Structure 1
Amino acid sequence: MFDLFSGLPLTVGFSLALALALVLIFEFINGFHDTANAVATVIYTKAMPPHLAVFFSGICNFLGVLLGGVGVAYAIVHLLPVDLLLNLDSGRSQAMVYSMLVTAIAWNLGTWYFGIPASSSHTLIGAILGVGLANALLTDIPVGAGVNWGKALDIGLSLIISPLAGFAVAALLLLGFKKLFADSKMHKTPEQRRAIDNKKHPPFWNRLVLVLSAMSVSFVHGSNDGQKGIGLIMLVLIGIVPAKFVLDPASTPYQIQRTYAAAGHLNDFYLRHANVLGDYLALQTPPSAEPSQKARCSPQDTMSSIQAVRHSLDGVRTYKELPPEARGRVRSHLLCLDDTARKVANMGVLPADAVTDLRRLRADLSATTEYAPLWVIAAVALALGIGTMVGWRRVVLTVGEKIGKQGMTYAQGMAAQITAVGAIGIANAFSLPVSTTQVLSSGVAGTMVANRSGLHNGTVRTILLAWLLTFPASMLLSAGLFAVTVLTLGG
């Protein structure tokens, strides 16, 4: 880990250390900001003592990050258009990262202070979109190309659908519990349990489900939200010290050969479909032997990029064999090939089986560009896990008592948590970021409606207002910070 500072000028090293620290601070805040939602029901229902709940939740978050992969991490990264990722100089990349992180940290701390279950995911995604749009306004990039709108639409839909689904599914699940277990003690609140049964804790089986589902929420939260920090760190590393991180230095000869072969298969694939892709990819124009790195990715340069990748990786067993400049060129070509392949897959001119083949080739092409070193994953996991163990009290009270007009029953807690595990788990499978806060809070609200408890209008109004304001506020703040920083530095 520490060798990444070797050979760096003092100012660059300090800037790198500061940027990494800000990412870990963001994840630490994310821990007690978002994960408070994961333990809210289990603490409120007294299924676990608070100190044990947050301790084991922290461990589950840690494991979730370690085992969650990097799919969501690069879904976040690819909100930025590939042209911006290609052309980030050290100064602009630092301005980008600082703007996003300062925005996310400030908004998260503010909403946490007032006990509002706002979404860290919305904050970060809004900050990324703001930076992309501001960068477009400061350069000659069209505003419409300042953000990868295809990826933004996918993520936006997941963020909208997941809380709606959480509300409906949790409500239906609670109704199922009421029908199947009409006389069960699971339909009591902790206060009713103490007053009627003189018991402090839920019945054994209800308690077991509450504990297991809460820890599962923490695990899937770690595997989803933790990856956002991983994606940010990789943006920092690639932007500030690209020579060491543009390609996975730990890639095996097999992985490099897989990328080399994928470029060749992609060439053959395009030639097979030349009748519909010939003009778009300029297949009739002989590719140059080694195209220069371009400021923009163009489908017309696709065959040249394929040749360049094949030429650069021919016989290479480790990326250390390539000089830093060559590694940068390979990454640029791979990013452009992946971006063009994504556009081709979305054109609607290829049969379904061909689109499936193209997606497999994209996965092979990005095998050594979409990665994260183990120390990055471990650092984010540790920051998120430790953050989980502090600062949880404010949000627990909001989720447990202030969303509905009555306290939460054991069955409501179980329904909301089981729904959250399912929704976030499905999102992880499709590498889509979602908001643990929104899914769980919406699930609780759904159970309150299904239980005819009624909603506490003031709290619900405050939460909805925070959700609605998060996107525009974070976009404006990050865009302003980025623009001021770039213009001040003469970018």
Structure 2
Amino acid sequence: MELAIIIAVVVVALVFDYTNGFHDAANAIATSVSTRALTPRVALGLAAVMNFIGAFLGQKVAKTVSEVISFPADMLANDASHALVVVVAGLAGAITWNMITWYYGLPSSSSHALIGGLVGAALAAGVTVSWDTVMEKVVIPMLISPVFAFAAGFAVMLAIMWIFRRVNPHKANRNFKLAQTASAAAMALGHGLQDAQKTMGVIFLALLAGGYVGADDDLPLWVIFAAAAAISAGTWAGGWRIMRTLGRRIIHLDPARGFAAESVAASVLYTTAYAFEAPISTTHTITSAVMGVGATKRFSAVRWGVARSIVVAWVSTFPAAGAVAAFVYLVCRYVFQLP
């Protein structure tokens, strides 16, 4: 029975990873597509490949995700299937919120949907939540990273405008279109590094509950490969609704601003993954960077009404995914008559 539930958890986790891929595909490529630096299909292909590679570049974020909740020893010893149901419920909350925000074209955070789902299911089940981990590596980075990305995007774009102030605009645009191939690839690599690891962390949590790995073990290679493949396939499927929001509805970008936004966002993703082991939102990061570079035109150039609706989605993500996860857990508890 436990093995069947573990397999179900892995399948649901990979479904979440797939939805993460098409939900967040726009993160890496919307700016490049909107500036016509890359065609949509070429951009999606590039993002899919770089997402796959990025998933193999670290395990720190996965470890952080697996430490968000911890199961009591008696639950693992006597009823591991109960612990696995908690994980499934957390994933269900995250997937539901991903689909809702995808439908409405809102670039919300798959990362925070996942963490919120796990926390909501854990609270409903009476499982311990590591609030120190949630605060230090989720909530605080969630608040700081968008502000930093906005400010850095604004500063980098001002520097570019000053450095290239005497360069022919047509020549500059042509060169920045070429440069955007590199910045889009860097952004996609960072997305794979961050977001694929979050699914790995959930699968590791399920294997830990089932007794198949120890808390100090490294991630099995098959887990890394499966998560990398799922997010890459999801990216290839594309996320056109959200791409439109990021690439055009917030502000109309030119190649220089697209390059600046992608470069800043990629740098933030790498720094937080390696230095702080924090599962930050790629969506928050690139959206804030886009608004930052856009504000260098003039603040009124940014469509703040659209930005406001995005912020509402950001704020709602954690509690909404948690509420859905708690509901799913309670339904499962009633149906399967869990203790």
- Class of the TM-score when normalised by the shorter of the 2 chains: over 0.9
Q: Deviations over 1:242-284 (max 9, x none)?
A: 1xx233xxxxxxxxxxxxxxxxxxxxxxxxxxxxxxxxxxxxx
Whole-Å Cα distance in 1 between the matches of residues 312 and 15 of structure 2? Answer: 26
- For residue 88 of structure 2, what is the amino acid of its counterpart? Y
1:363 matched to which residue of 2?
Answer: none
Contact 1:234/1:372, CA 8 A, preserved across alignment: yes
Correspondent of 2:277 among 431, 444, 461: 431
Q: Deviations over 1:379-420 (max 9, x none)?
A: 10000111111132212211111112xx11112111111110
Distance change (3 Å), C-alpha of 1:465 and 1:215: same
SS in 2 for 1:450: coil
Map residues 61-72 of structure 1 onto 2, 5 A cutoff: 61-67=51-57, 69-72=58-61
SS in 2 for 1:431: coil
The answer to whether residue 107 in structure 2 is matched with residue 107 in structure 1 is no
Q: Deviations over 1:53-101 (max 9, x none)?
A: 111111100000022x2111110111114x5377333221221121111
Deviation at 1:202, TM superposition (A): 4.3
Whole-Å Cα distance in 1 between the matches of residues 189 and 74 of structure 2? Answer: 34
Whole-Å Cα distance in 2 between the matches of residues 214 and 184 of structure 1? Answer: 23
1:148 matched to which residue of 2?
Answer: 130
Whole-Å Cα distance in 1 between the matches of residues 3 and 133 of structure 2? Answer: 32
Map residues 184-333 of structure 1 onto 2, 5 A cutoff: 184=167, 202-203=173-174, 205-240=175-210, 242=211, 245-247=212-214
Whole-Å Cα distance in 1 between the matches of residues 247 and 73 of structure 2? Answer: 43
Contact 1:61/1:218, CA 8 A, preserved across alignment: yes
SS in 2 for 1:227: helix
Correspondent of 2:114 among 103, 124, 127: 124
Correspondent of 2:293 among 447, 450, 457: 447
Q: Deviations over 1:149-181 (max 9, x none)?
A: 111111211111111100000011111111111
- For residue 147 of structure 1, what is the amino acid of its counterpart? V
- For residue 399 of structure 1, what is the amino acid of its counterpart? L
Whole-Å Cα distance in 1 between the matches of residues 110 and 246 of structure 2? Answer: 16
Distance change (3 Å), C-alpha of 1:44 and 1:184: farther
Q: Deviations over 1:329-377 (max 9, x none)?
A: xx6xxxxxxxxxxxxxxxxxxxxxxxxxxxxxxxxxxxxx241111110
1:484 matched to which residue of 2?
Answer: 331
1:277 matched to which residue of 2?
Answer: none
Distance change (3 Å), C-alpha of 1:183 and 1:87: farther
Whole-Å Cα distance in 2 between the matches of residues 413 and 151 of structure 1? Answer: 33
Correspondent of 1:177 among 160, 182, 186: 160
Distance change (3 Å), C-alpha of 1:410 and 1:41: same
Contact 2:154/2:295, CA 8 A, preserved across alignment: yes
Contact 1:116/1:466, CA 8 A, preserved across alignment: yes
1:411 matched to which residue of 2?
Answer: 256
Whole-Å Cα distance in 2 between the matches of residues 12 and 479 of structure 1? Answer: 21
SS in 1 for 2:68: coil
Whole-Å Cα distance in 2 between the matches of residues 213 and 147 of structure 1? Answer: 37
Whole-Å Cα distance in 2 between the matches of residues 233 and 448 of structure 1? Answer: 39
- For residue 485 of structure 1, what is the amino acid of its counterpart? C
Contact 1:424/1:434, CA 8 A, preserved across alignment: yes
SS in 1 for 2:69: coil
The answer to whether residue 238 in structure 2 is matched with residue 379 in structure 1 is no
Contact 1:74/1:370, CA 8 A, preserved across alignment: no
Unaligned runs of 5+ in 2: none
Whole-Å Cα distance in 1 between the matches of residues 280 and 328 of structure 2? Answer: 25
Whole-Å Cα distance in 1 between the matches of residues 168 and 218 of structure 2? Answer: 48
Whole-Å Cα distance in 1 between the matches of residues 49 and 238 of structure 2? Answer: 16
Whole-Å Cα distance in 2 between the matches of residues 126 and 481 of structure 1? Answer: 13
Whole-Å Cα distance in 1 between the matches of residues 206 and 166 of structure 2? Answer: 56
Whole-Å Cα distance in 2 between the matches of residues 17 and 168 of structure 1? Answer: 44
TM-score by length of 1: 0.65
The answer to whether residue 267 in structure 2 is matched with residue 391 in structure 1 is no
Whole-Å Cα distance in 1 between the matches of residues 74 and 164 of structure 2? Answer: 58
- For residue 259 of structure 2, what is the amino acid of its counterpart? M
The answer to whether residue 305 in structure 2 is matched with residue 458 in structure 1 is yes
Whole-Å Cα distance in 2 between the matches of residues 102 and 475 of structure 1? Answer: 10
- For residue 105 of structure 2, what is the amino acid of its counterpart? G
Deviation at 1:183, TM superposition (A): 4.3
Distance change (3 Å), C-alpha of 1:161 and 1:25: same
> Greater Rg, structure 1 or structure 2?
1
TM-score by length of 2: 0.92
Deviation at 1:17, TM superposition (A): 2.5
Deviation at 1:14, TM superposition (A): 3.4
Deviation at 1:487, TM superposition (A): 4.3
Distance change (3 Å), C-alpha of 1:28 and 1:184: farther
SS in 1 for 2:141: helix
Whole-Å Cα distance in 1 between the matches of residues 64 and 5 of structure 2? Answer: 25
- For residue 261 of structure 2, what is the amino acid of its counterpart? A
1:271 matched to which residue of 2?
Answer: none
Whole-Å Cα distance in 1 between the matches of residues 250 and 14 of structure 2? Answer: 31
Distance change (3 Å), C-alpha of 1:18 and 1:163: same
Q: Deviations over 1:1-47 (max 9, x none)?
A: xxxxxxxxxx4443333221111111111111112211111111111
Distance change (3 Å), C-alpha of 1:119 and 1:400: same
1:281 matched to which residue of 2?
Answer: none
